[in-house]
Amino acid sequence: MNIKLFMLDEVPQSFDSLQIEREVADYWERNDIMQRSFKMNEGKTRFSFVEGPPTANGPPHIGHAETRAMKDLFLRYKTMKGFYINPRIAGWDCHGLPVEIEVEKRLGIKNKAEIEKMGLSKFNALCKESVFEYVKIWEKASKRLGFWVDYDKAYVTMKDEYIESVWWALKELYKKGLLFKDFRISPYCPRCGTTLSAHEVSQGYKEVDDVSIYVKFKIEGKDEYFVVWTTTPWTLPANEYLAVNPNFNYILVDYRGEKLWIVEERAKAVLKKYEVLETRKGSQLVGTRYEQLIPYLRVNTGLYVVAGDFVTKEDGSGIVHAAPAFGADDYVVLKRENGELYITVDDTGKISLDSPWKGMDVQAASEKIIEYLRESRQLLKTENTSHTYPFCWRCGTRLIFYPVESWYIGVSKAKDKIVEYNKRVNWKPEHIRDGRFGNFLEEGKDWALSRNRFWGTPLPVWTCKNNHVFVPGSKKELIENSTSIPPYFELHRPMVDEIKVRCKECGKEMVREPYPIDTWFDSGSAFFAQFHYPFENAELFRENNPVDFITEAIDQTRGWFYSLHVISSLVFDRNAYKNVVVMEFVLNSKGEKMSKSRGDQVDPLVIMDRIGTDSLRLFFFQGPPWKTKRFSEEVALEFSRKLLGTIYNSYLLFSTNARLDKWLPREEKVVSDLDKWMLDRTNECVSSVTKYMNEYDPHLAIDSIKDLVMDLSQWYLRLSRDTFWGGEITDEKRSSYFVTYTALTSIVKMLAPFAPYFSDYLYMKMTGEESVHLSSFPEPAGYDASVIEEMNLVKELVEAGRRIRQKNGLILRRPVKEIVVTDYRYADIVKKFGYLIQKELNTKDIVIGNVNSYLKYSYSLNRKATGKIFGKDLNEAAREFESEERQNEFKESGHTTVMGKKITENEVERKEVLDERYVSDDIANNSILIYKEFDKSLYLEGLAREMIRRIQSMRKDANLNYTDRIYLHVEGDEALMEAFSSFREYILASTQAEESSKVNGSRKKWDISGLELEVSLEKITA
């Protein structure tokens, strides 16, 4: 063991975490500790990490603090384990709707038209400024949190070098036939004016209450109607087809004098009472023509029944209305039937059809259309329906499905390998792999890549009028193929839109497709684009991929985790990452999601100012990361005070005594069983923490550290106090100092990734070294499990003894005469550690005994067995049996005679009764017995201990150090003074006191079990 000879540094009496944080932060800054830690393992085995770039569109909240603390935890741990992490850089996601919407709010802009009016160049410049403004706020909060990454070398998704790498990846996809243009009915935000990808849509689902309606479509030439159900009445003016499932049974019913067609299984739920007139298969209804429901649209195709396997009978009527412009299944029907596409809504989500509802928002139009249908007697009924519906993940607007031409990534073409590569990833928790994440991958939906927006990575696609396509994979390739290049340009709109290319196939001019791409493709490219790969750093990229570790919150299974995985699978034919820790959300104290509108969002900087960074970090590591946490300042502060405060006070006690003895840290011979146990217990903890951290279970690691701290403080140090306070420096004291030093240094090293400020402060005080973050993590050493198990039995026995004392009103400060252990499992433990057990349970003696020696037995008639024998005389017989004569006779011979009847063991119940001088409890079940009677000597000793407790309390109130000696004077009732006289030396030694008749310091009166005591004490200054 390599220990530096160093006089332990003293610390203040009181633990002040905020002052510690200020001192350590200043020290780190002055000594460049962060950068030095980055370089300390250069040339050693690599560990790779990539920062999930936050979108810099607003200040960070408490959930962001949690993810950054989790990242930093494992980066610090791996660094202390000797791994080289390079790059270890921040990252900023700068593009897309999140940034645009933030700028729109500032400018009071409500739609795309207003942006186009002010000018794209000006708007995008404001987006760039907004990003840089919030980046500074993020850096401040992240640095305060102790998130150690290089902010000066951060990757920035809006830089040309980054965009160029993204362009390269898109060209690779194009070469593989996975980047293509298509016209589809897509999820669309009318407020933002753009389509969204499937993974974006999945992030915005909400539970909503809507009015659903059943309407009647009249069959052409007949007095019969199709019953159709819809939750989107605004689509009815665009109806072109009705769809039935060809395999379902449909019935014609007489309902209140009208003839209605409906699927058989739904008739009762919808209509209640009716008469069945006819039954047909859905296939028999196909081709049936019907009259237009709302005659404002001139329809040239359709208005007949078609077959559709997508029609279900779980809800509705089993007959689906198809408006092909507003539904993906409906559009498939249109193409199959060679129909015309009718679009009755504009790109802002307002009705464009010449009708009473023109210019109305689709939701408002729905209400008016329902009124129209009611007045025209085409409305059968309405229902309130609760269902999930997608909203824009950024602005919160209800989405619609809308016909848009977009560029797609062909995820569906490569679904199988995307799913397969996911099986190589270690997910924490494991169920995410095949559950939430795996199930989403199985859907294999194509990625809607292009956006009808402004601020983002430009789609690198140029097309000519003959539909030829040019996809540059770099800035250089674009320049080499362009016909005109601005003197200065960057890869953003509008500059990049001005660049024209001559088509190599037909010679026509090519212009850029006017779209930016989904910002999730930007962030999902971070694992290679941060290197400007493949244009430089190719070797560095290969050394760091697949990435060893990433972590973000659960919502990123539909966001960054997804985009990373899909891009890597399609471009590189492998998984992007090896290990991923998925975190649940931090909720408010009531278990609700925090929100700005409710005013309960928490600013991490404010919290850190109040309770300290280490307290906040430690809160995040309590419980599994993948379980929700209810944030509470009080809970966070209490946990850190209990853990860090206990470590601090343990060091204070240890260092105070070691400094008095001028003991310097060195390896000493371990002489006692207690010392050997503490070393083994420390090594066991190091082994457990290493295992848990390697398996990405930080909550189990911090629990193990906390348990070790409690064992050190509440067990080992308490039992070692007499050794510490001994006057001379003995082998026992040296051994105890060495063991305590070893345990404490191991604890602060293991704690360093969790609580970096406190750990570094105490580590430097203990070792004189520069920083715990420039040191190594403790290495697991061998330990004797049997030694640990022995002490567990000792603690188990002590806990049982304390419990029995408490339940029976035997105050622990008052000694008892004897404790008897009757469970022979403890026999060897009592022989080996009896002195510890005696001390902890405050007993004069502890012995192993046979329980039968402490039990008495009483006998009574078994009333069930003897009821038939004695009948109505049973009570009289019972009294006779309980007489002393009959009891003695039964005990001696096992039988007796009662009222002339012979009574044997079969008619008797035996009950154990503990000797009245001893007590136990139901849990111990007489395996531990405590003698409860006190003689005068024990009584006086108990009073002496009560007096010591009061004197120590007054020392604490006077802010005295452990080593400060005092003058002491006591007066009180006769019994107390007799106790003081009998145990004078014990009381004075325990309180660092000298008796004096003249004391001018603190004075206080106490009540001890009805006896009055007055204590005066004063610090000795000479």
Name the residues annotated as catalytic: 53, 93, 520, 556, 560, 593, 596
Element housing 677 (H / E)? helix 673-694
Query: Is cis: bond before 487, omega within 30 of 0?
Result: no
Number of Cβ atoms within 10 Å of the Cβ of 805: 22
Beta bridge mates, 914: 855
Mention every residue, 6+ apart, whose C-beta is less than 8 A from residue 982. 937, 940, 941, 944
Alpha-helix residue ranges (DSSP H) falling in 779-847 = 785-807, 827-841
Distance CA 830, CA 838 (A): 9
Nearest to 763 by CA among 5, 9, 1, 2: 9
Element housing 209 (H / E)? strand 205-218
Beta bridge mates, 953: none
User: Environment class of residue 392 by beta-carbon count within 10 Å: exposed (0-12), middle (13-18) or buried (19+)?
Assistant: buried
The length of the chain, given as a count of residues: 1022
Could you give the C-alpha distances from 603 to 63, 673, 938, 953, in angstroms and in order?
10, 50, 57, 39
* Backbone φ and ψ of 910, nearest 5°: -105, 135
DSSP reduced 3-state for 387:
strand
User: DSSP secondary-structure letter at 855?
Assistant: E
The dihedral sign for the CA sequence 680, 682, 683, 687: positive
Nearest to 883 by CA among 863, 859, 904: 859
Could you give the C-alpha distances from 405 to 322, 452, 638, in angstroms and in order?
20, 10, 57
Distance CA 987, CA 693 (A): 47
Tokens of 577: 């990452």
Give per-residue burial for 526-553: e unless 16+ CB within 10 Å, then b: bbbbbbbbbeebeebbeebbbbbbbbbb
Distance CA 531, CA 523 (A): 13
Nearest to 233 by CA among 380, 396, 393, 404: 380
Locus of tokens 């309980």: 882
Distance CA 633, CA 295 (A): 62
Locus of tokens 């350590």: 24
Mention every residue, 6+ apart, whose C-beta is less than 8 A from residue 874. 861, 863, 866, 867
